[in-house]
């Protein structure tokens, strides 16, 4: 049973057939999105069957883009715990606070979900060699899934990326090129190398399937909340894959008829004040985000000055009635310590940023006490020990 129908450009409506490799819409430089035959899926699929399957991202394979089970690379990604946060709940006056702890994924970050989907699809479509520019974690995740697939991988990463990301990617056998500059500079080098050598570039949103892996976070949340979605989701936004993916998942879930009501979460982007292109564009009411010059933050995964999917991110925030918040690195470090000491969760700085953002929104009354709020801890704090002393 396979339901992927086609790929489409959300800006110009161009349609692309499945069964072939695609990147992005060359006419308008927009990401492409996967479209499923959800009317047929609605008639044929029963949501209860998904809940009865063994845990992991691939239990949702009918809503994913890989047809051949042998191509579905699995290292234990997905079904990360949805934790309560009792002490923080009390401190913030928010009784219904949850943390989706994505640090449980292979390679210690939720990049595993996206790369599991993208590398599996690439394997099925005959790709021989892969490349990615990364702020760090996507490089480790690509390297792991490429190793699993038996395919060579090349990773372009800023020279000051966390050491764990360089070490893991090399250990998994990837060729790692350290780049002077940011992920945007790495992106240019990766694109040039891809063109020169015929490698397939799995940059964020420059192929259509990483977002499909990450959307499964939305399916898991729906299931975990009894098919009635939470009120607020706070997401640390770099390239925006998970944010756009979950918003897409909620639309798919509605079309499948699996939700018990029409409520949708308000989606919140948290960014670091030192690199906040989405927050700035949101505040300006702009449709596009301008390149954020001089980007600097210790939250490596948020150091994305020019997100390729800016239009989709901003649209998800606005359609959902959400917002965007920038927090300082000092607030991120304080929140990281607080999550560790109050709840026993050693979050990545990016994950900790969501708590710093929530603190602001709760103080402003934007989040109300009765609401069900989900923070995303997107990675393991243990991957960020460079220069740290306790």
Ligand X SMILES: *Cc1c(COP(=O)(O)O)cnc(C)c1O
Task: Report the partner that residue 9 touches, choosing among ligand X, Zn ion, none (CB closer than 5 to 8 A by kind).
Answer: Zn ion
Phi and psi angles of residue 18, each rounded to the nearest 5 degrees, phi first: -75, 175
CA–CA distance, 279 with 272 (Å, rounded to integer): 9
Stretch that binds ligand X, among 76-84, 88-96, 230-238, 282-290 (CB under 6 A): 230-238
Is 187 a binder of ligand X (CB under 6 A)?
Answer: no
Q: Which stretch binds ligand X (CB under 6 A): 30-38, 233-241, 289-297, 354-362?
A: 233-241
Least distance to Zn ion from the beta carbon of 13, Å? 7
DSSP-based three-state secondary structure for 310 = helix
Interacting residues with ligand X between 325 and 344 (CB under 6 A): none
- Contact between 168 and ligand X per CB under 6 A: no
> Of 106, 240, 265, 322, which lies in the binding site for ligand X, with binding defined by CB under 6 A?
240
By beta-carbon proximity to Zn ion, the closer residue of 14 and 340 is: 14
Q: Which does 28 bind (CB under 5 to 8 A by kind): ligand X, Zn ion, none?
A: Zn ion
The minimum distance between CB 41 and ligand X, in angstroms, equals 25
- Residue 141 Cβ vs ligand X, minimum distance, rounded to whole Å: 8
How many contiguous H segments (helices) and E segments (strands) does the chain have? 13, 13
Question: What's the closest the beta carbon of residue 378 comes to ligand X, in angstroms?
Answer: 3
Told to check if 9 binds Zn ion by CB under 5 A, we report: yes
Cβ–Cβ < 8 Å for 53, 212: no
**How many residues are listed for the chain in this entry?**
390
| Near ligand X by CB under 6 A: residue from 94, 182, 190, 348 | 348
Picking from 165, 188, 171, the residue whose alpha carbon sits closest to that of residue 350 is 165
Q: Which position among 187, 238, 265, 381 is part of the footprint of ligand X (CB under 6 A)? A: 238
Quick one: which of 267, 202, 215 has its CA closest to 237?
Answer: 267
**By C-beta, is 3 or 30 nearer to ligand X?**
30
- By CB under 6 A, residue 33 contacts ligand X: no
The residue with its CB nearest to ligand X is 301
Interaction between residue 237 and ligand X (CB under 6 A): yes
Contact characters 132-151, ligand X, x per CB under 6 A = -----x--------------
* DSSP annotation string for 35-91: EE-HHHHHHH--HHHHHTSPSSGGGGGGGSS---GGG---SS-S---EEE-HHHHHH
Which helix or strand (DSSP H or E) is residue 175 part of? strand 175-179
Helix (H, G, I), strand (E, B) or coil at 260: coil
How far, in Å, CA of 78 to CA of 110, rounded? 8
Q: Contact with Zn ion (CB under 5 A): which of 11, 62, 124, 175?
A: 11
Strand partners, 131: 154, 201
Site string for Zn ion, 20-39 (x = CB under 5 A): -----x-xx-x---------
Handedness of CA 340, 344, 347, 353 (dihedral sign): negative
Q: Does 109 bind ligand X (CB under 6 A)?
A: yes
Contact 25, 12 (CB under 8 A): yes
End-to-end CA distance of the chain: 51
Q: Kindly tell me which of 7 and 176 has the beta carbon lying closer to Zn ion.
A: 7
Q: Contact, 201 vs 190, CB < 8 A?
A: yes
Interface with ligand X (CB under 6 A): 109, 111, 137, 204, 236-242, 301, 348, 350, 378-379
């Amino acid at each position: 049973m396979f339901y992927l129908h086609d790929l489409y450009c959300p800006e110009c409506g161009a349609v692309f057939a499945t069964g072939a490799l695609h990147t992005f819409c060359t006419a308008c430089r927009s990401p492409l999105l996967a479209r499923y035959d959800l009317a047929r899926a609605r008639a044929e699929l029963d949501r209860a069957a998904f809940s009865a399957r063994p845990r992991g991202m691939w239990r949702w394979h009918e809503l994913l883009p890989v047809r051949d089970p042998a191509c579905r690379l699995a290292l234990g990604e997905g079904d990360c715990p949805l934790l309560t946060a009792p002490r923080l709940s009390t401190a913030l006056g928010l009784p219904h606070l949850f943390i989706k702890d994505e640090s449980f994924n292979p390679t210690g970050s939720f990049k595993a979900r996206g790369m599991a989907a993208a590398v599996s699809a690439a394997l099925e479509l005959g790709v021989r060699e892969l490349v990615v520019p990364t702020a760090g974690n996507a490089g480790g995740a690509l390297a792991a899934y490429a190793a699993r697939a038996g395919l060579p991988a090349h990773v372009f990463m800023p020279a000051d990326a966390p050491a764990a990301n360089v070490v893991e990617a090399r250990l998994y056998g990837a060729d790692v090129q350290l780049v002077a500059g940011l992920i945007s500079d790495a992106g240019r080098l990766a694109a040039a190398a891809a063109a020169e050598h015929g490698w397939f570039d799995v940059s964020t949103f420059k192929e259509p399937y990483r977002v499909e892996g990450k959307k499964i976070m939305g399916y898991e949340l729906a299931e975990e909340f009894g098919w009635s979605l939470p009120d607020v989701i706070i997401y640390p936004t770099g390239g925006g894959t998970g944010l756009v993916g979950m918003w897409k998942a909620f639309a798919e879930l509605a079309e499948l008829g699996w939700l018990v009501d029409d409520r949708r979460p308000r989606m919140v982007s948290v960014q670091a004040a030192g690199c906040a292109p989405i927050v700035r564009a949101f505040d300006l009411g702009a449709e596009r985000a301008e390149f954020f010059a001089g980007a600097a933050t210790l939250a490596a995964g948020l150091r994305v000055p020019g997100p390729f999917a800016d239009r989709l991110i901003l649209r998800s925030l606005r359609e959902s009635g959400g917002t965007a918040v920038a927090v300082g690195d000092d607030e991120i470090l304080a929140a990281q310590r607080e999550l560790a000491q109050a709840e026993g969760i050693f979050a990545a700085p990016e994950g900790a940023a969501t708590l710093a953002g929530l603190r602001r929104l709760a103080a402003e009354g934007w989040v109300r006490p009765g609401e069900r709020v989900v923070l995303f801890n997107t990675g393991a704090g243990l991957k960020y020990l460079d220069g740290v002393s306790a």
